[in-house]
Amino acid sequence: MIKFLKISLAAILLMVAGMVPAFAQGTGPQMDDLMHRNGKIYVVVAVLVVIFIGIVLFLIGMERRVSRLEKQGVPKTVKP
């Protein structure tokens, strides 16, 4: 388990170290300007809002189902 954690940490550090030169380029947000000019940024925002609302509705539904099961008195089965 510890060996796996060490390998995972090393992999994460290598990925972060590889991203540092990409941030140092200083070319500016070209994609952001392109999205604004074409009006596609609103499509991106709309898709993100729809996904967020879907996740919230899913979580609310799950909470209702869990609370209904708790009220019914279903025994909890915990496997070690």
Residue 55: what pLDDT? 96
Task: List the structure tokens of 47.
Answer: 């898709």
Mind listing the pLDDT tens digit for each residue in 10-36?
A: 777 777 666 666 555 556 567 667 777
Residue 33: what pLDDT? 74
Give the pLDDT mean for 57-63: 95
pLDDT at 80 over 70: no
The answer to whether the predicted template modeling score (pTM) of the entire model surpasses 0.75 is no
DSSP state letters, 2-64: HHHHHHHHHHHHHHHHHHHHHHTS----HHHHHHHHHTTHHHHHHHHHHHHHHHHHHHHHHHH
Task: List the structure tokens of 66.
Answer: 């869990």
- The DSSP H or E segment spanning 25 is none
**Long-range contacts (CB closer than 8 Å, 24 or more residues apart) made by 35-44:** none
